Structure 1
Amino acid sequence: MVNIRDLDPSASPLDYYGSELRRLREDAGLKQGELGVSVFCTASLVGQIETARKVPTRDFSERVDAALGTGGVFSRLVGLVLRSQLPSWFQAYAEMEAKAAYISTFQAQLVYGLLQTSDYARAVLGVRTEGNLDARVAARMERQRILERENPPLSWVVLSEAVLHQEVGGRDVMRNQLTHLLGLRGREWVQVQILPFEAGAHAGQMGSFNLLRFEDDPDLVYTEDFVRGHMTANPQALREGSLRYDHLQAAALSVEDSAALIARVMEERYGDQAEPDGRTVA
């Protein structure tokens, strides 16, 4: 077991969070169990977070701020903690993604991370290992907060139709994920197009990629291989990425027709189905 007194607050955002939680809890004259009662959790969970063995959630952080009257300290810290749970090679991209004014992405196999439901994300992230899965899912959900801010980035997403048919996490998870995509139609800052199978050979056959545009900084193009991600501001790469994306948008269905296709796949592939005895299964 980690001894809280052995924690180095400068070792990581998680260690700093834990040390501050212990310090402010003790300043308030509360035991771990007493704080746990106030924030609707166990003393054990408080202890695990204080010893950096458990990653706090945003909900926990907001409750602690209210219980200890810390003025939002932990609600601000938890963003850093969750970002630190992202793969080290991905953290630089996540920081730039959060600063972008415009995000354009083509996804050949999966729903873009900013648009994933938590269950879909859990299925994707748990393919190779379930280690620290809760924290990794929470980190992905934290990334999505940029879409909730007052001035969110304009996000234009082109998904291969294959994304709709690739069953990730089971039929219920897919149905809820496609429902979520349809629910985005009310957000003018998020547009989703589907590149249909009928498009044939297309400009995205080399794989998924993202384009980030900024108000004041150079634009970036981001790609991934099976080991890590690659981010560059090389003008030639940007030109090639922009040209490919323009072709993909032109070949994709309109936003309205894309929504109709999503709804049709959701109903036909993931809707209620009748068993031989006449019963329906979800």
Structure 2
Amino acid sequence: MAKRLEQGSLRELLGKEVRRRRTEAGLTQQQLGNIIHVVDSRIAQIETATGAKVTYDLCAALDAALGTGGLLSELYEHLRKETLPDWVRRFLDLQARARVIHEFSQIIPGLVQTEAYVRALFESGRVYANGDLEEKLAFRLGRQEILKAPNPPWLWIVLDESALYREVGGPEVMNEQLARLLELGEHPRVDVQVLPFNSRELAAIGSNLSLVTLPNGEKVAYTEGILAGLIFEDLEDVTRFTVIYDRLRANALPPAESAALIRKVMEERYSCPPSDLI
């Protein structure tokens, strides 16, 4: 069985590769720093796997300066994945392979968030340092590439009505985000439904729920809270979550009525004339 590299060894491997390539190119740390516009001490930190962690942009700049053909950027991607909790990596792998994705969320789900909406979420409460924010922003948006594939998964979103009114990033950000929902709702493989405030189906209120159906027909359920998520693969558990989701969907407004409600909220709350929606 292949041994999985630990985070520390990946970082050290990247540093050793930078040192080797720099030496082969006949560059000092200061000269390389001048090329990519960082101080020489930063190059020293990278090569010794100390100090602030590397970023994708920094690795891309080193690739260009050292002619590595993208090797350092590829190493960075592996390093970034190793820093994610196991449950996050596991769920994202399942989601990337899914043929059908069902989502219930009380905020706009990550797969359909706009860049401005994501940024506002991450900046809220200053949860991340500035460097981390840009990396996490790129990672979140990168997950949406599965919807642009030639044969994308079927995506069904049940969105709690509160998500339309919970203002993230200001009126302009919400205007753009709700317009994105309407645009995606026109896609043949995407359905968006809103669970109205007057619904009495409350089983999933307080958490987000995802169901993914894999190419072999297997289903997996995933619930997420503030700091952690849980993956359920046992048939009995998945069946229970499937029933909960089906009840949410049955109590939600149909797609056409949901789109009309989204338009109404945009017009009344976020100052968007109906003719400018999509």
Same topology, TM > 0.5? yes
8 Å CA contact 1:219, 1:233 repeated in 2 = yes
Q: Is it true that 1:117 corresponds to 2:114 in the alignment?
A: yes
Counterpart amino acid of residue 119 in structure 2: R
Counterpart amino acid of residue 42 in structure 1: H
8 Å CA contact 2:97, 2:215 repeated in 1 = no
1:4 counterpart residue number: none
For 1:247, what is the secondary structure of its paired residue?
A: helix
Q: TM-score scaled by structure 2?
A: 0.76
Q: Deviations over 1:40-72 (max 9, x none)?
A: x52249737665624423x66566555554444
Q: Equivalents in 1 of 2:229, 2:6: separation in Å? A: 29
8 Å CA contact 1:65, 1:75 repeated in 2 = yes
Deviates more, 1:86-95 or 1:161-170: 86-95
1:24 counterpart residue number: 21
With over 3 angstroms needed to count, the CA separation of the structure-2 counterparts of 1:173 and 1:17, relative to structure 1, is farther
For residues 38-187 of structure 1, the aligned pairs below 5 Å read 42-44=37-39, 47=43, 51=49, 53-57=52-56, 65=63, 68-107=66-105, 109-128=106-125, 129-131=127-129, 132-185=132-185, 187=187
Q: Equivalents in 1 of 2:162, 2:255: separation in Å? A: 17
Mark the runs of 5 or more structure 2 residues left unpaired by the alignment: 274-278
With over 3 angstroms needed to count, the CA separation of the structure-2 counterparts of 1:15 and 1:201, relative to structure 1, is same
Q: Deviations over 1:220-240 (max 9, x none)?
A: 111123442111111111111
Q: Equivalents in 1 of 2:77, 2:63: separation in Å? A: 14
1:278 counterpart residue number: none
For 2:8, what is the secondary structure of its paired residue?
A: coil
With over 3 angstroms needed to count, the CA separation of the structure-2 counterparts of 1:249 and 1:146, relative to structure 1, is same
Deviation of the 1:78 alpha carbon:
4.0
8 Å CA contact 2:94, 2:214 repeated in 1 = no
Counterpart amino acid of residue 116 in structure 2: D
Q: Equivalents in 2 of 1:137, 1:209: separation in Å? A: 22
Percent identical across equivalent pairs? 37
Q: Equivalents in 1 of 2:269, 2:46: separation in Å? A: 42
Aligned residues: 262
1:195 counterpart residue number: 195
Q: Equivalents in 1 of 2:46, 2:144: separation in Å? A: 23
Q: TM-score scaled by structure 1?
A: 0.75
Q: Equivalents in 1 of 2:12, 2:119: separation in Å? A: 25
8 Å CA contact 2:201, 2:247 repeated in 1 = no
8 Å CA contact 1:9, 1:19 repeated in 2 = no
Mark the runs of 5 or more structure 1 residues left unpaired by the alignment: 1-7, 274-282
Q: Equivalents in 2 of 1:148, 1:75: separation in Å? A: 22
Q: Equivalents in 2 of 1:259, 1:169: separation in Å? A: 22
For 1:150, what is the secondary structure of its paired residue?
A: coil
Q: Equivalents in 2 of 1:61, 1:188: separation in Å? A: 38
